Amino acid sequence: MSGKLVIGNWKMHGSLASNRNLVRGMLEDWWINRKGVALASPHIYLLQLADLLEYSPVALAAQDVSSFGADGAYTGEVSAPMLADMGCRYALLGHSERRNYFKEDNRVLGVKLRNTLATAVTPVLCVGETLQERESGCHLQVIEQQLEIAAGLEAGRVMIAYEPVWAIGTGKVATLAQIREMHDSIKAWCLQNQKGSAKIHVLYGGSVKADNAEAILSIDSVDGALVGGASLDVGSFAMICQAADKLV
């Protein structure tokens, strides 16, 4: 992949009718309907999105992957091979809402990561520190611990999304200096702990909006954005995608 990637994370939002309107609106927009843009809908709507995006370069993404790798008696679960079958190019792993509400830790996320890597789906490992961790000055170490499950892998095989927990859905954005420091630190960690020299992609997420996207995406070590709230509005999402496209 070249250029900056924008992934819209819809979280648990949507309905058949509202998704259809939203995606149709997006496909009419020049800045959104292009390579380098992906949409992560709830699992139940992936088939609908796959259908709506059939002739579009916009990619499909999943919000989570089961820790069970193959078919079996796991009621309610959706496996990585199923996501691949559905045409997902990316899958989010370890979003802070999953870490928080579902108590996902490195043990389970390591399994999810390996299951995803066994398919053609690219994992997007989300990492981020809480406000308390930042204020106590241990934010860099916290992120390194969360990255531990990606040690030893080929560089570039796993995408990283840095999302400070205190910036998600709060309207508070990390400062450009904070983002730069963390992205540089993540890239340095990958260089030291992963194999090969392929480009490492690190996205930023946490209250990315139309009015701050350009400043955030203009940071060299920011390779794209993971966008929650603003991805549910065509106009806002288009402005973010435009900023990403301009800064390639």
Active-site annotation holder among 97, 163, 183, 201: 163
> Smallest distance from the beta carbon of 211 to ligand PGA, in angstroms?
13
- Interface pattern 163-192 for ligand PGA (x via CB under 6 A): x----xx-----------------------
DSSP letters, 96-145, are HHHHHHS---HHHHHHHHHHHHTSSPEEEEEE---HHHHHTT-HHHHHHH
- 115 near ligand PGA (CB under 6 A): no
If binding is defined by CB under 6 A, does position 9 make contact with ligand PGA? Answer: yes
Of 205, 221, 236, 242, the residue at the interface with ligand PGA (CB under 6 A) is 205
Compute how many residues bind ligand PGA; rule: CB under 6 A.
13
Which residues on adjacent β-strands are paired with residue 93?
A: 125
List the one residue out of 169, 112, 163, 240 whose CA is nearest residue 104. 112
Q: How many CB atoms lie within 10 A of CB 142?
A: 17
- Contact with ligand PGA (CB under 6 A): which of 67, 79, 119, 207? 207
Which of 206, 238, 239, 240: binder of ligand PGA (CB under 6 A)?
206
Burial of 27 (0-12, 13-18, 19+ CB in 10 A): middle
User: Is residue 128 within the footprint of ligand PGA (CB under 6 A)?
Assistant: no
| Binding of residue 235 to ligand PGA (CB under 6 A) | no
**Which residue in 95, 139, 183, 201 is the catalytic one?**
95
Q: Is 129 in the site for ligand PGA (CB under 6 A)?
A: no
Q: How far is the CB of 96 from ligand PGA (least distance, A)?
A: 7
Residues in CB range of 214: below 8 A, 6 or more apart: 243, 246, 247
Q: How far apart are CA 92 and CA 159, in angstroms?
A: 9
Minimum Å distance from CB 92 to ligand PGA?
A: 8
The two tokens of residue 238 are 């288009």
DSSP state of 228: S
By the rule CB under 6 A, 241 interacts with ligand PGA: no
Q: Is 139 a catalytic residue?
A: no
Active site (annotated) includes residue 201: no
* Contact between 228 and ligand PGA per CB under 6 A: yes
How many whole angstroms separate alpha carbon 66 and alpha carbon 87? Answer: 16
Residues within the interface to ligand PGA (CB under 6 A):
9, 163, 168-169, 205-208, 226-230
> Mind telling me the catalytic residues?
95, 163
